[in-house]
Amino acid sequence: MFLRSLSMGIFILYCSLSSSLHCYSKNLSFDLIHQKNGATQEAFGYSVAGVGDLNGDGHSDFIIGNYKASPNGLLEAGSAYVYSGLDGSVIYQIDGDSTGDNFGYSVSGAGDVNGDAISDFIVGAVRASPNGIFWAGSAYVFSGADGLLLYRKDGSAPRDYFAGSVAGAGDVNNDGFADFIIGATNTNPGGLINAGSAFVYSGADSSLLYRKDGGSVSEFFGASVAAAGDVDGDGRADFIIGAPYADPDTIDHSVNSGVAYVYSGLDGSLIYKVKSDSADDYLGFSVSGAGDVNNDGRSDFIVGAPNTDAAGLLDAGWAGIYSGVSGLLLHSLPGDSAGDLFGYSVAGLGDVNGDGRDDVMIGIIGANQGDFDYAGSARVISGADGSTLFQVDGSGLLHEMGYSVAGAGDVNGDGRPDVIVSAPLADSGRGQVFVYGLVSTATAEERKKHPARFELSQNYPNPFNPTTTIRYFLPKREKVTLEIFNLLGQQVRALSEQEQMAGEHTAVWDGKDGNGKILPSGIYFYRLKGEDFSETKKMLFLK
């Protein structure tokens, strides 16, 4: 078994022997957009996330956590770095305040927390000691516009490990501001030692919206947290929490089968409870919203169980993609070999290959590559059929490629979502992070200049708040209209009604009607219509 310790806060690190990597793709070509390397043996890339377009250059940016960094001589105070998607330059470097804070242990995009139309971001410092409370932990929400602190939330008791997991939650309370969720694995609610907790906070004023607690000793509820999208179709953002050490069906809580819980953003009620039937599966070690995988208009979700003995293979690992409509399993995804730890990390990506279905990424940190144990891998999985679209492999001993994976947004500006994956022990333990752009067999530039046919892309991000981008391609010059419709078929906005040149075009919708009034959350349709072409797609607006 290979899992970081949650009960003692122990982080297992090794040295690697090589900084190279191998990649392959069955159905897509790909480009390495950015590679970022750590400077010393500091767990660079322990956490990664997309953060949206912070600097307004049309390219999504990304954040990397380095919790063992020692800025300004403060041992393991930790650091987090926000990079430009356009050129890879550092937009912000933010450092931990005190020795041993482990700032950067967790990172996430937060959405637009403060209502300035620019996405913000969150960094966790799991071993911070706020107000002298030893290792209570702290979470920091920063403005994407200027990098200044918006909110700090703290654990309340020693060794809470508050902010061991952090995530943007979407607009849970429908007030127009993105909210956020923080996990604290080692809280003791009701006297239950290490049962764990998770807290959902308002983006508008950081007030507590919901607190959810584990129900048994040593569940480590809150080990993973994520936005789930609108799972139940009520127009509110829902959220998902993992409790990988939970055992829901027996008295012996050491069996560690694991549970993942999906909660309603509307009232905090439980929508779905996904559990494992086998000991030591650690289901819920990783969780994420998956987007609309089956194209039914609802958000789906993905859960990882990295120590499942899939097909009898010890610790091969497993991940499952579940329907938001029914809670039923859509895709069962097992690891290939014993010890793979498939599902150690999971992430929703958006529609990578342009087939109208959202795709996901899965980290496989225990995968062996040749003679290199724990070289690791990360795999992009088709939401349509569960097949592998793309895989990147580590190629050195104990690289642990896939330790953290995330959707990066559209980093390279080609209209498709890109991916970010880390190998925190690569390059002799310095750590490496890779951002890949997945493109069609034609190069992105050729596709932009000389599209072969009319094409309307899925909007990105989707679901979205506050804005989303719609890309489309015209093979010839002609007059086109791009319109937004509500569920009743009523036009609410015309984004384009003009003659346009052949090539790639983009339009941004801000969730407002033609009079500038913000529209309600929910499903909308956008239609591109030309002289002899018409195509309609749907999108989800979450305030």
157-194 tens-digit pLDDT: 999 999 999 999 999 999 989 999 999 999 999 999 99
Q: What SS3 string covers 397-449? A: CCCCECCCEEEEECCCCCCCCEEEEEECCHHHHCCEEEEEEEECCCCHHHHHH
Average of per-residue pLDDT across 33-54: 93
**Alpha helices by DSSP H, 330-413:** none
In the chain, residues under CATH classification 2.130.10.130 are 21-439
Residue range 358-402, pLDDT digits in tens: 999 999 999 999 889 999 999 999 999 999 999 999 979 999 999
pTM of the model: 0.83
In the chain, residues under CATH classification 2.60.40.1930 are 451-541
Tell me: pLDDT of 356 over 90. no
Over the range 208-241, which residues count as b (16 or more CB within 10 Å of their CB) and which as e? ebbebbbbbebbbbbbbbbbbbbbbbebbbbbbb
Tell me: pLDDT of 287 over 70. yes
Residues 6+ apart with CB under 8 A from 528: 454, 456, 472, 480, 481, 482, 534, 535, 536
Query: Between 17 and 438, whose confidence is greater?
Result: 438
Superfamily name with CATH number, domain 21-439:
Integrin alpha, N-terminal (2.130.10.130)
CA-to-CA distance for 5 and 9, rounded, in angstroms? Answer: 6
CA-to-CA distance for 348 and 343, rounded, in angstroms? Answer: 13
Residue 474, CA distances (Å) to 453, 454, 497, 505, 519 in order = 7, 5, 14, 8, 29
Other Cβ atoms within 10 Å of 498 Cβ, number = 8
The pLDDT, as a whole number, for residue 18 is 36
Average of per-residue pLDDT across 417-438: 94
CATH number for domain 451-541, candidates 3.40.120.10, 2.60.40.1930, 3.40.50.150, 1.10.357.140: 2.60.40.1930
Strands (DSSP E) found in 137-185: 138-142, 149-154, 162-170, 179-184
